[in-house]
Amino acid sequence: AKEKSDEVAIVQAACIAQKTQIMGEKEAADRDLAKALPFLEKAVAAADSIKPADINELKGMRNAVDTTRLIMDTIHVLFQRSLNPCKPRALNILKTDIPFINDSFDDHTKNTLSNSNFLKELLEFSANEKDNINEETIELLEPYLLLQTPDGREVYNGAVAKKSSSALEGLCTWTAAMSDYHKASKIVKPKLLLLNIK
Protein backbone atom coordinates (compact mmCIF):
# COMPACT_ATOMS: atom_id res chain seq x y z
CA ALA A 1 0.00 0.00 0.00
CA LYS A 2 2.92 2.32 0.84
CA GLU A 3 4.53 1.62 -2.57
CA LYS A 4 1.24 2.35 -4.36
CA SER A 5 0.78 5.50 -2.32
CA ASP A 6 4.31 6.66 -3.26
CA GLU A 7 3.65 5.92 -6.96
CA VAL A 8 0.41 7.91 -6.86
CA ALA A 9 2.20 10.81 -5.15
CA ILE A 10 4.90 10.83 -7.87
CA VAL A 11 2.31 10.76 -10.69
CA GLN A 12 0.27 13.47 -8.94
CA ALA A 13 3.34 15.69 -8.54
CA ALA A 14 4.20 15.20 -12.24
CA CYS A 15 0.63 16.09 -13.25
CA ILE A 16 0.67 19.24 -11.11
CA ALA A 17 4.04 20.27 -12.59
CA GLN A 18 2.76 19.66 -16.14
CA LYS A 19 -0.43 21.63 -15.44
CA THR A 20 1.64 24.54 -14.06
CA GLN A 21 3.87 24.48 -17.15
CA ILE A 22 0.87 24.40 -19.54
CA MET A 23 -0.84 27.24 -17.68
CA GLY A 24 2.34 29.31 -17.91
CA GLU A 25 2.63 28.62 -21.66
CA LYS A 26 -1.05 29.48 -22.17
CA GLU A 27 -0.62 32.79 -20.34
CA ALA A 28 2.42 33.60 -22.52
CA ALA A 29 0.47 32.69 -25.70
CA ASP A 30 -2.47 34.83 -24.57
CA ARG A 31 -0.12 37.78 -23.99
CA ASP A 32 1.37 37.37 -27.48
CA LEU A 33 -2.11 37.04 -28.99
CA ALA A 34 -3.17 40.24 -27.22
CA LYS A 35 -0.27 42.01 -29.00
CA ALA A 36 -1.43 40.72 -32.42
CA LEU A 37 -5.13 41.55 -32.07
CA PRO A 38 -4.79 45.38 -32.25
CA PHE A 39 -3.25 45.01 -35.73
CA LEU A 40 -6.19 42.91 -36.84
CA GLU A 41 -8.65 45.42 -35.33
CA LYS A 42 -6.81 48.23 -37.11
CA ALA A 43 -7.09 46.36 -40.43
CA VAL A 44 -10.80 45.68 -39.97
CA ALA A 45 -11.45 49.33 -38.99
CA ALA A 46 -9.49 50.50 -42.05
CA ALA A 47 -11.52 48.25 -44.37
CA ASP A 48 -14.75 49.41 -42.70
CA SER A 49 -13.75 53.05 -43.26
CA ILE A 50 -13.69 52.58 -47.04
CA LYS A 51 -17.03 53.38 -48.65
CA PRO A 52 -18.31 52.41 -52.12
CA ALA A 53 -18.13 56.10 -53.07
CA ASP A 54 -14.38 56.05 -52.27
CA ILE A 55 -13.83 53.11 -54.61
CA ASN A 56 -15.90 54.84 -57.30
CA GLU A 57 -13.66 57.90 -56.85
CA LEU A 58 -10.57 55.76 -57.45
CA LYS A 59 -12.19 54.03 -60.43
CA GLY A 60 -13.11 57.41 -61.90
CA MET A 61 -9.57 58.76 -61.93
CA ARG A 62 -8.54 59.25 -65.56
CA ASN A 63 -4.89 58.74 -64.72
CA ALA A 64 -4.08 56.90 -61.50
CA VAL A 65 -1.50 58.75 -59.42
CA ASP A 66 1.58 56.83 -58.29
CA THR A 67 0.27 56.57 -54.72
CA THR A 68 -2.77 54.67 -56.04
CA ARG A 69 -0.56 52.47 -58.20
CA LEU A 70 1.72 51.65 -55.27
CA ILE A 71 -1.06 50.82 -52.79
CA MET A 72 -3.10 48.75 -55.26
CA ASP A 73 0.00 46.67 -56.05
CA THR A 74 0.38 45.84 -52.36
CA ILE A 75 -3.20 44.57 -52.30
CA HIS A 76 -2.36 42.35 -55.27
CA VAL A 77 0.66 41.05 -53.37
CA LEU A 78 -1.51 40.20 -50.34
CA PHE A 79 -4.16 38.53 -52.53
CA GLN A 80 -1.34 36.68 -54.36
CA ARG A 81 -2.51 37.93 -57.73
CA SER A 82 -0.54 38.67 -60.90
CA LEU A 83 1.92 41.53 -61.15
CA ASN A 84 4.14 42.64 -64.00
CA PRO A 85 7.80 41.55 -64.05
CA CYS A 86 10.03 43.94 -62.10
CA LYS A 87 11.80 46.73 -63.90
CA PRO A 88 13.02 50.06 -62.53
CA ARG A 89 10.77 53.12 -62.59
CA ALA A 90 10.66 56.35 -60.59
CA LEU A 91 7.44 57.05 -58.68
CA ASN A 92 6.36 60.61 -58.04
CA ILE A 93 4.99 60.79 -54.50
CA LEU A 94 5.18 63.76 -52.12
CA LYS A 95 6.25 65.82 -55.15
CA THR A 96 9.46 63.81 -55.22
CA ASP A 97 10.85 61.25 -57.66
CA ILE A 98 11.51 58.01 -55.81
CA PRO A 99 13.45 55.19 -57.48
CA PHE A 100 11.35 52.01 -57.28
CA ILE A 101 9.87 49.39 -59.61
CA ASN A 102 7.28 49.62 -62.35
CA ASP A 103 3.72 49.12 -61.13
CA SER A 104 1.12 46.69 -62.48
CA PHE A 105 -1.88 48.98 -62.23
CA ASP A 106 -2.79 49.29 -65.91
CA ASP A 107 -2.27 45.61 -66.71
CA HIS A 108 -3.63 43.93 -63.57
CA THR A 109 -4.72 45.96 -60.56
CA LYS A 110 -7.11 48.34 -62.34
CA ASN A 111 -9.42 45.33 -62.79
CA THR A 112 -9.42 44.76 -59.01
CA LEU A 113 -10.92 48.22 -58.47
CA SER A 114 -13.54 47.51 -61.16
CA ASN A 115 -14.73 44.41 -59.30
CA SER A 116 -18.03 45.19 -57.57
CA ASN A 117 -17.06 42.81 -54.74
CA PHE A 118 -13.74 44.53 -53.99
CA LEU A 119 -14.76 45.85 -50.54
CA LYS A 120 -16.32 42.49 -49.68
CA GLU A 121 -13.05 40.79 -50.65
CA LEU A 122 -11.10 43.03 -48.26
CA LEU A 123 -13.44 42.22 -45.38
CA GLU A 124 -13.43 38.49 -46.16
CA PHE A 125 -9.64 38.51 -46.33
CA SER A 126 -9.50 40.15 -42.88
CA ALA A 127 -11.95 37.58 -41.51
CA ASN A 128 -10.90 34.35 -43.23
CA GLU A 129 -7.55 34.62 -45.04
CA LYS A 130 -5.36 36.64 -42.67
CA ASP A 131 -3.87 33.50 -41.11
CA ASN A 132 -2.89 32.18 -44.56
CA ILE A 133 -0.46 35.04 -45.22
CA ASN A 134 3.00 33.50 -45.63
CA GLU A 135 6.56 34.74 -45.22
CA GLU A 136 7.13 35.08 -48.96
CA THR A 137 4.17 37.48 -49.21
CA ILE A 138 5.55 39.55 -46.32
CA GLU A 139 8.98 39.66 -47.98
CA LEU A 140 7.38 40.90 -51.22
CA LEU A 141 5.46 43.59 -49.30
CA GLU A 142 8.49 44.92 -47.39
CA PRO A 143 9.94 47.14 -50.16
CA TYR A 144 6.55 48.84 -50.56
CA LEU A 145 5.89 49.28 -46.85
CA LEU A 146 9.39 50.59 -46.11
CA LEU A 147 9.61 52.91 -49.14
CA GLN A 148 11.07 56.34 -48.41
CA THR A 149 11.84 59.47 -50.36
CA PRO A 150 15.55 60.12 -51.04
CA ASP A 151 15.50 62.59 -48.12
CA GLY A 152 14.14 59.93 -45.72
CA ARG A 153 10.39 60.69 -45.56
CA GLU A 154 8.11 57.70 -45.11
CA VAL A 155 5.94 57.09 -48.18
CA TYR A 156 3.68 54.18 -47.24
CA ASN A 157 1.42 55.65 -44.56
CA GLY A 158 -2.19 56.77 -44.31
CA ALA A 159 -1.43 60.48 -44.13
CA VAL A 160 0.51 60.42 -47.41
CA ALA A 161 -2.16 58.25 -49.06
CA LYS A 162 -4.95 60.59 -47.93
CA LYS A 163 -3.38 63.45 -49.88
CA SER A 164 -4.36 61.58 -53.04
CA SER A 165 -7.67 60.09 -51.86
CA SER A 166 -9.49 59.29 -48.62
CA ALA A 167 -10.08 55.76 -49.94
CA LEU A 168 -6.34 55.26 -50.31
CA GLU A 169 -5.82 56.08 -46.63
CA GLY A 170 -7.95 53.07 -45.62
CA LEU A 171 -6.36 50.76 -48.20
CA CYS A 172 -2.86 51.80 -47.12
CA THR A 173 -3.64 51.29 -43.43
CA TRP A 174 -5.31 47.94 -44.18
CA THR A 175 -2.36 46.42 -46.05
CA ALA A 176 0.19 47.61 -43.47
CA ALA A 177 -1.97 46.28 -40.62
CA MET A 178 -2.29 42.88 -42.34
CA SER A 179 1.50 42.68 -42.50
CA ASP A 180 1.85 43.73 -38.85
CA TYR A 181 -0.80 41.17 -37.83
CA HIS A 182 1.12 38.39 -39.57
CA LYS A 183 4.39 39.34 -37.90
CA ALA A 184 2.80 39.42 -34.44
CA SER A 185 0.63 36.32 -34.88
CA LYS A 186 3.40 34.08 -36.23
CA ILE A 187 4.83 34.06 -32.69
CA VAL A 188 1.45 33.05 -31.27
CA LYS A 189 0.31 30.35 -33.71
CA PRO A 190 2.95 27.70 -32.88
CA LYS A 191 2.33 28.21 -29.15
CA LEU A 192 -1.44 27.82 -29.53
CA LEU A 193 -0.92 24.72 -31.70
CA LEU A 194 1.39 23.21 -29.08
CA LEU A 195 -1.16 23.91 -26.33
CA ASN A 196 -3.88 22.20 -28.39
CA ILE A 197 -1.66 19.12 -28.79
CA LYS A 198 -1.01 18.97 -25.05
pLDDT 10s digits, 41-99 = 877 787 778 888 888 888 877 788 999 999 999 999 999 999 999 999 999 999 999 99
Q: Helix, strand or coil for residue 57?
A: helix
- pTM of the shown model: 0.77
Number of Cβ within 10 Å of residue 13's Cβ equals 10
Could you tell me which residue, 39 or 118, shows the higher pLDDT?
Answer: 118
Which H helix or E strand runs over 88?
strand 88-93
DSSP 8-state symbol, 190: H
Q: What is the mean pLDDT of the chain?
A: 84
Cβ atoms of 33 and 27 within 8 Å: the answer is no
Encoded amino acid at 87, one letter:
K
Question: pLDDT grade, residue 34 (50/70/90)?
Answer: confident
Determine contact, residues 159/165, Cβ cutoff 8 Å. Answer: no
- pLDDT score, position 195: 47
The answer to whether 141 and 189 have CB atoms below 8 angstroms apart is: no
Return the pLDDT at 198: 47
